[in-house]
Every structure is written in C-alpha cells, then in structure tokens.
Structure 1
C-alpha cells in the first residue's frame, strides 16, 4: 500500500503536490521548498536545550581553582568530540564530513584557550564556556559564507558541553512517539545525522536555506522539507499540519478529508517514482544522464545499486578529513579505485580534485588563518602554491582509472579564469583522461564558451554559484530567498553555460543541490543541461519527472523560469505549465 497510514499521521515522501483547493481556508505558513513530498501529521518541536534546573544546581561548580575547572572542561570536550567521531564513523558523505568537522571544533585548541583565559579572568566554568563560544560565533559570523554554517555547530557543541558538565545526557532530537512532523528553529548536524525517515513525516525549520546542512541531509533521506519558515515555532506541539515540500507550504489544521486527498495524490506520484528504473530521458526520448554524488566507497556502492548511469561528482576531499598527512600516490589510488570499481561498462565517474578549504579543512592542504576562506585559497587555488599536491592526486586518479578500466573524467573546483582551465585541462589530458572544470564562480559562467575551448566538459555547482552570484550567506534564513537556485540571475548564468556547451557540442552538467529538485530539473534540461548529478535517493523522482514531460515542455518551463521576477513566481509558473 503506497499510502502509509499510522496512528497519528500519513507519510508520502518524494512526491509532487496537487493543486486541488481546500474546502475552507486554514492558516498557512510558507518558506523555501527543499525536498518535494507531502507529510501530514502532528507537530513535534525539537528545542534541545539543557534544563535550567540542572544548570542552576550546578552553579559555579565548586572547583578548587581554574586548573581544576579546566580539567573538567577537558573531560567534557573529549567526551563530546568522541561522540561526534563515533557518529562520523557510522556515516558517509556529507554527514561524515560534518561530524568530523564538529569533532575537531569540540577539541579545538583555540576554543580551549579562550575558556582558560576566561577562567583565569575570574569567570565560572559555564560562563567561561559560553564566553568562549560567543567569541568564536562572532568570528565565524563575521567571516560569513560557508564559515557561518559552523555557527550552528558551535552552539550545538556548547549545549553538549554544558550537558556533560552538569551531569545531563547530551541534548538532541526528542523521542518521537509516532510518525510526526518535526519542527525546529534549526537542526545541528549531530541531530540531522540521527533522523529516522520512518518516523519523520516531514521536516520544517525556521532558519536555514536550501543548501544548509539540514536541507542536504533531508534530500539524502528523501524526507519532505521546507526551511526558512517564519513563526513555525508558534505552532503548538501536537497540532496537525500538512507540509508540502514542493510548494514550501505548511497548512495548519487543514480539512482532514482534503489533506488525505493530497496524500493520496502524492502516493500516485510516488508509485511512478518507485517504478522508474532509468535511463534518464524525456517523454519524447531526449537523453539526460542521471548521475549520483558520492563521497567514498560505501556511498559509491550504494549509488551503483540504483538507477544511475554513473557518478557526476566524487568529492575526493571527504576521503581525507581525518588525515593529518597527505597519503602517498599509491594510497590515494587505492581509495579512488574502490569508488571507480563500483561502476561498469557504459557508466563513467567524474572525479573532483580536492575542494579543500573554507568549511572543509584538510590538514595537509588547507591554509590556516585566512580572513575570508570562502573567497580565499580553496579548491584549485591550493595548487598555485603547491603544484605537487595536484600532480600527485592526478597521478593517483589515473592509476585507479587504469586499474579499474572505468571511464574517468576529472574536474577542478573554483576555476575563475580561462588560463586556469587551460592549465588544468592540459594536466588531465596528459594522463589520458577527460578534463573539465566546475562553474561555481560567475566569471566561469560568463566565459563558458572560452572555457570549453580548453576542456572537454563543464559541471555547474549551483550551491556556490548561487551564493557568489547573489552575494548572500546561504545560512542566513532571512536571505533564503536569495540563496535559492531558482533566482532568475542564477538561472541566467546556467542558461549561458548550457548554451555554450550546445554550441561547442560538449556536455554541461549540474552537480549542485539544484539537480535534486524534480521541477527545477525540467527547467535545467530545457536550457540544454545534459546531465544531472544528485544524492542517490533523489534520482528516481527526478528521473520519473523528466520521463513525464517532453523536451518542448522543458523548454517552455525554462522560458517561464527565466522570465520570472523571483523564485516563488518562477516555481508557480513552471507548476502551472507542467502540473
């Protein structure tokens, strides 16, 4: 039975919405749609604060001196870091990346030094921890960009430290009594890592944008999700709501009969998604490669079991977050070989060279102490002062490609100039592989036609392209409308890039989070995008959506989205065209 009925709610994940009107008007909240699907059930609010009673009972802690208080802090920090590390070991991909980074933050020497200074200045232990975290929050907020995403991590670390110090269990998601709609101000990475798709009918947050950690994990788990919903925390726990992840709406206490109709209609769409087995093509036969984003051997093996035609983004840096020294060429080749070997004839794997820096610190590659890492030395730029780093990685990828026989394409991140593309392309081709660059910087999109004179393909990273085009921190919920890939300015740059590919006769793909949006996928194909790479869980709904429309309809959808004045009107126009 596709319509899943449980005691307190209904769930249909990864489904499109219907347009049937409600029989009566009920309160509705709106936000940024992230993961399409319909969830209907009672609200459970995740607050996750340490109890004030326990904090009051702890008081100043009664430590003999600052050194004794610091020793207690060290024990708590070690326990919190170990908890994050354990979660990282059980996870893969983005979850493992964020858990590893949080473990590093919890045991950070700079944070400990700030706590020690506050203790020696006369503050008690809890006040010292709070002051130190606030100091780092201010620094990360000022840096903006991807570093601002670490603010949520820091606040989560503080809650867990305080809980350890006062003798309470670490805070986290509430225990869900039955399948429910999970509502939160925002979710820390440690919380999203523990989400159970069997119990979370839909996810709604007050903060965050379409490329936040919460949004990315929701896509991986195929949980309907809406972010940036103002006043959603005013909904009383237990209130029944209908969440539409395609339209970005939260209907409060809707008519039950109407709500169940929405769930039933979404179930029909889910049936089509589940039945889709590839390959990617429109209803009139236009081929569109549906590819997976992977981070390591386990995620590659999982993706290879699904209806994808290969990998459009292998994030190599995620293999090395725990490495303090650069692995040898042979060691790297062994890691890459396990990923490439998961895919066979007729499939290809696109390997991205190290995208270290900013929010993905790799000890042997990232430069310390940058004032603005998001706009600093990251991605390809790391090779400017350390060319051997790039050469050794390319040698390792070539070794793995030869050993597996898998068709291997290689692309560089953060390419901004034609000269950079030419230099990288020459290095990759000299090793017998196809060369490409990522279009994440507006300059790369504007010069796409010249980039394609130097490389074999382009891949658009919509997360960074959106952030850099709109000059908006993607973690700022009040700017979520700007960090939305449906922004006409972003779509215009994508269209320019796709047209350059069409004229050159070379493939142009999208590997950012925008590729996982089934509705936006139709728009991208209408612009001329030839492949879409996404979390493996998103492949069936995207593939099924494309199979239900013609290439001409996709072109009409692209024109409508480009003509819109804002993301909301663009979505509405495309929904009107495609149903």
Structure 2
C-alpha cells in the first residue's frame, strides 16, 4: 500500500521488523553484470575435465571467501555466513553442475542450469527450503562472477550513512554489514523471520520488509525508514525527517541507560530475558541487562552435524550457557528439528508439507532415545554447573504429549514446560498446565499456524505479523489459563522483541519476555516508561481490533 504524507511524499508500507527511525540516501546491492549464460558452443570432450576443475575452483573460492567473512563475524551473522558457505559446496547442486559440464555445457551455463533445477525443487518444498532460494541464487551469481573474471556482486560500501533497499538480501550481504554505514534496511520481499530480519535485529538497525512499491525507489533517493510503523517515506521534508530521527535517537539513548530488572513504571515485574543459541551468544547476552535466558535454541548447535552428539558433548555445550548465566533463569528448549531446521542425524522423512509434519517433539517418536539422551545431557550440565535449568518441548499439540514430556524431565530433576506454538495447545492450555510448570509462547509459529500462512513466504508476510488480532487472542487465552493456576507464561517469539508489542503482552498478563540480545534494552526501557494500567488498557484495545494496522494504532494511542 502507498499513501501520501501532508508534504505529498509517497509513504510505502510494509511489515515492521526492528524499531527505530533513520534517514539517508538509498543504496542498492550490486548485481551481476549481464552474462549470457547460453553463450558458447558445447565443449569438446577433451576440454571438459579442465572445465570441471575450473568450476570446482570457482565454487571453492566463493565458499572460502564466505567462511573467511564468517570468522570476522559473530552470533547470527557468523551462523548465516557459515551456512551459506556450506551450501556453496553442497554436493547435490555441485554434482548437477559437473554432470552438465561433462555433457558438454560451459561452466557458466552449467551453473545456471543446476541452480535453476534446485531453485525449482526448493520452491516446491516450501518452508526454510523455499527461503534458501535466495541463498542459492546469491551463490550462483558469485560463482558466475568468479568464472567470468568479474567483481563479486554484493552491497557497495557507502561513503555516508545510507539506507540499504533491495528486492531481497542474501545472507552473505546482510551478515557483513557495518551498522555505522548501513543504518537501516528495507526489502520488497522477506518476512519477520527472514535472514534480513534476523541480521537487522543483531545489528540493532531499523528494518521494514515486504514493502510494496520499494522496487520503484531509485538509488540515491532520500528516504525515511520507520521500523516501528513499518513505513518508508520517499523524499520527505529534510527538517521533518531529521526531527523524527532525533526523537528516535533520544529514545534509543534512554533505552541504552536502562539497566533492568524488567518492570513497568509502577513496579509491576515482567522479566526481560535473552534468546541464545550457544555459549558465545550467551556470554554476549550476559553483557546486556538480560535477567536470564528465556530460549536456548539447542538445535542450532547441531545443524551441521552428520551424527548425533554424545551426551558428554551436549552437556559441555549446554554447560557453557548455564555458566554464562550462573544463578539466573535459563530455559532450554529441546531439539526443535524438522521443517525449516532439518538435522541430518534425525532422519527426517520426505514430506509434502514439512511445517505440518514430523518436527519438534514429534521427532522423538521416530528416533527412540534422542530426547532421553538430550535430557540426560541437560541434567548432566546442570549437575556440573550447579544450575537448575527449566526445559521445554517444542510443537506440543496435546495434553498427553505434555504429560509424557513432563515425566521424562522430572525424572532427571528438571523443571518441565512446553512451547505454545500450535493453536490446539493454546486452546487446551488449561489441560496442558495440569502437567507442566510453565508455558512459553512461540509467536512465530503460532502466527504461522493460526493464519495458515508459511512464515517464510514474502507474499504472506502481512498474515504472519505477530500483531494479528487472532494470534493475540490465542496469547490472551493462554495467559489466562496460566494466571488461573498461578503458573508463569512467557513469550519467546519475535513479538517479544517489539517494544510496543511487549507492553501489550505485559498488559495481557505475560510474566516474561525473551528477545534477541540486541532488543533487550529497548524492550526493558519501553516497559519502564508505562504503567501496568496503560499496558492493560492497550491490551484490551488491541483485542478489540480487526487488523494489524488497527492493533498498532490502538497501542500507539495509549502507550505512545
């Protein structure tokens, strides 16, 4: 949607991902110069082995560059770069390209054909595999540039702080950004959980995705990006734009001074926690005012493993996170594998719709012992560190599943809880709480399943917005069930990283908020500026709305 401001500057609308306001000139990623991939006659048979070697060398060079960049990155950026480098040397698409070369195709044509083959396959598979289409095309362009002796495509290094706009951004581009020079991101595609969104949160720069009309904004145009409202204003009045940036900067400065603990202005406590994926991320989060870890994503430690880690190996990794937050709350999620996070050693079946298939707690049934060994490792890590971690199971859909998991966790001295990601679990929260000690709402998947919209689909990004009233209605139902039996209900999805929505969640009665470490201070600072009654009033107003736009507007009117 496009509207106009009072100054007749076009205002483009998208999905807000990271709050904040920035103003500057647009830069766009460099694209691969035109290369006629169909040019050139078929190779003579004698020339084909050398062409295979040339292709292999180019792919290896690209992968090496990506891994080198990963060594200079950290956290999510390093993960994204490493994953892309791994994909650059994936034997499946490399083998398809080599076969084409051995059949006579020049390397550039073979690369294009092989990538097209896998793009089509990944698109049909959906979920994370569909999102990896962007990664594959990025690798194709980098390998093609290397073969053609051309500069590697990517984001230019601007001379002044600029706004990066693109149809979509490859992980290798977003992971290497300097937040002092690229001060905001806006994309035509992408969703709240895309690579662009994840990296923007880590960098702490404003980000808006799924922006209608963004492709028509040319490089060099001045734009104002508002990551709270989800707008991109083209060529705004400079004085007005600067005023908006200054106000946002003052708010950010206030947030930087917030030191915790999480509470509203009138002292109602809402714990502000961090989401982490390994010991390094936990140590980094410990430098923030985070009061603990609300989501330890254990599966991210093992995505590149061909074999299941031993109990001792797992215990050592878990122990790093527990040690980083010694004496503080740490919630460990058991393996949330499948769908967008396949683990090689879990033996995932081929499924027509992986997001609705064997994932999360469901993989335990097909892998006897996998969950028990993980719980053994968490118990061992707790014993070694003297910690008392909470554990929660993902993708719980029935009270029976919750009961079974709770029994296994308690037998190891662990405090059991479950994730509320499936609408059925929200509807049966009261029954589930008969068996577990806490609930944690994963708003990313809860939105996906409530709205019947793939959270990785750019076309459906507005449907998977956590401000959807239907999603918040299920959150409210879950929280009421927890309050009735005096058991905590937290939120660990991306909704908790939105300062405005965090206040609404507090008003609904959520007891803790767990977000990316970069969002901890902004969430805590916003909570500290408003009263519990304001939060409750905002929650009531939001639940009475019928759209995301109405919900945001209602919250802004009450909370500012």
TM-score, reference length from structure 1: 0.92
Give the deviation of 1:257 after TM superposition.
1.6
**1:254 paired residue number:** 236
Give the deviation of 1:534 after TM superposition.
0.7
Query: Could you say if the C-alpha distance between residues 87 and 410 of structure 1 is closer, same or farther in structure 2, counting changes exceeding 3 Å?
Result: farther
**1:8 paired residue number:** none
**1:49 paired residue number:** 31
Alignment check: 8 A CA contact 1:147 1:374 kept? no
**1:234 paired residue number:** 216
CA distance in 2, matches of 1:285, 1:152: 46
Give the deviation of 1:31 after TM superposition.
1.0
CA distance in 2, matches of 1:283, 1:88: 41
Unaligned runs of 5+ in 2: none
Alignment check: 8 A CA contact 2:42 2:104 kept? no
Q: How does 1:42-121 map to 2 (within 5 A)?
A: 42-46=25-29, 48-52=30-34, 59=40, 64-119=46-101
Q: How does 1:348-497 map to 2 (within 5 A)?
A: 348-367=329-348, 369-497=350-478
Query: Could you say if the C-alpha distance between residues 169 and 407 of structure 1 is closer, same or farther in structure 2, counting changes exceeding 3 Å?
Result: farther
Aligned structure 1 segments of 4 or more residues deviating by more than 6 angstroms: none
Of 226, 231, 248 in structure 2, the residue corresponding to residue 266 of structure 1 is 248
Of 136, 142, 167 in structure 2, the residue corresponding to residue 154 of structure 1 is 136
Alignment check: 8 A CA contact 2:264 2:530 kept? yes
**1:575 paired residue number:** 556
Query: Could you say if the C-alpha distance between residues 528 and 115 of structure 1 is closer, same or farther in structure 2, counting changes exceeding 3 Å?
Result: same
Of 191, 195, 198 in structure 2, the residue corresponding to residue 209 of structure 1 is 191
**Greater shift in the superposed pair: 563-572 or 473-482:** 473-482
Please report the RMSD computed on the Cα atoms of aligned residues, expressed in angstroms: 2.1
**1:332 paired residue number:** 314
1:478 is paired with a residue whose SS is coil
2:243 is paired with a residue whose SS is helix
Unaligned runs of 5+ in 1: 1-20
1:313 is paired with a residue whose SS is strand
Aligned residues: 556
CA distance in 1, matches of 2:164, 2:315: 42
Alignment check: 8 A CA contact 1:66 1:116 kept? no
TM-score, reference length from structure 2: 0.95
CA distance in 1, matches of 2:77, 2:42: 35
Query: Could you say if the C-alpha distance between residues 275 and 303 of structure 1 is closer, same or farther in structure 2, counting changes exceeding 3 Å?
Result: same
**2:161 paired residue number:** 179
Query: Could you say if the C-alpha distance between residues 475 and 385 of structure 1 is closer, same or farther in structure 2, counting changes exceeding 3 Å?
Result: closer
Give the deviation of 1:120 after TM superposition.
5.0
CA distance in 2, matches of 1:60, 1:359: 40
CA distance in 1, matches of 2:354, 2:78: 21
**2:261 paired residue number:** 279
Alignment check: 8 A CA contact 2:38 2:109 kept? no
CA distance in 1, matches of 2:424, 2:301: 29
CA distance in 1, matches of 2:125, 2:5: 45
Give the deviation of 1:368 after TM superposition.
5.3
Q: Does 1:565 align with 2:555?
A: no
**2:272 paired residue number:** 290
CA distance in 2, matches of 1:501, 1:475: 30
Alignment check: 8 A CA contact 2:42 2:105 kept? no
Give the deviation of 1:121 after TM superposition.
5.2
**1:26 paired residue number:** 9
CA distance in 1, matches of 2:37, 2:140: 16
Give the deviation of 1:99 after TM superposition.
3.0
1:364 is paired with a residue whose SS is helix
Give the deviation of 1:22 after TM superposition.
6.8
CA distance in 2, matches of 1:379, 1:85: 29
